[in-house]
Structure 1
Amino acid sequence: MSAHKHKEHLEKIKDAVSKTEELNENQKSDSVKRIEEWYEEDKAFGLLKEELLEISEYFEVLFAELGLSK
């Protein structure tokens, strides 16, 4: 995955996290913090997905909605 695509996916997830009602404020805050750290460090997207799934299983639904579940 290109760096541009990687960052585009992170922005989509961050935007969706901020809008969802499926996560409480602490989960949203923790998720956005992790996304921003991964954005800055440009780490593997698959590892971020695993970290976010530890916060909430809702991310499985979110990734599917955003077309990022593969």
Structure 2
Amino acid sequence: MQVPEVDWKAQYEETLAHSREWEKRAKANKSAADELERLKQSQMSDAEKAAAKTVKLQKKLDVFKAKK
């Protein structure tokens, strides 16, 4: 019984094309997510912005304490 020959170059090119398609989708999603975040930020009050920054800084402090 003979094993069929595999065209590795064609397999590679197909996988590469598939990878590039997902890369394009990821970049498009990142752009949309960034735009949504900017919109949310522009609609926040000063108190909401301060609260969000406090939460972000608290997370960084927790990570720093965990490392120490």
Is the pair's TM-score, using the shorter chain for normalization, greater than 0.5? no
Q: Report which of the two has the higher share of helix.
A: 2
Structure number with larger C-alpha Rg: 2
- Bigger RCO (CA 8 Å, 6+ sep): 1
